[in-house]
Amino acid sequence: MSTKVLYGFHAVGVRLKTAPDSVLEVHVDATRRDARMRQFAQRALEAGAKIVDSDDARLTKLAGNPRHQGVAARVTPLPQVHSLDDLLDAVQGPPLVLALDGVTDPHNLGACLRVADGAGVHAVIAPKDHAVGLNATVAKVASGAAETVPYLMVTNLARSLNELKERSILVVGLADDAAQTLHEADLSGPLAFVLGAEGPGMRQLTRRTCDVLVRIPMKGAVESLNVSVAAGICLYEAVRQRG
Q: Mark residue 197 as left, alpha or beta (left: phi above 0; alpha: psi -120 to 50; beta: remaining).
A: beta
- The pLDDT of residue 77: 81
The string over 32-46, giving b where at least 16 C-beta atoms fall within 10 Å of a residue's C-beta and e elsewhere, is eeeeebeebbebbee
The pLDDT of residue 80: 66
Residue 14: per-residue pLDDT:
83
pLDDT at 143: 65
- Cα gap 56→16, rounded to integer Å: 22
pTM exceeds 0.85, yes or no: no
Q: Which of 145, 149, 152 is nearest to 11 (CA)?
A: 145
- Domains delineated in the chain: 4-75 (3.30.1330.30), 84-242 (3.40.1280.10)
Local mean pLDDT, 10-residue blocks, the chain (243 residues) = 85 87 93 92 92 94 90 85 80 92 90 92 90 75 73 92 96 95 96 90 94 93 86 96 89
* Burial bucket for residue 93 (CB in 10 Å: 0-12, 13-18, 19+): exposed
Per-residue pLDDT at 2? 81
Residue 85: the pLDDT is 86
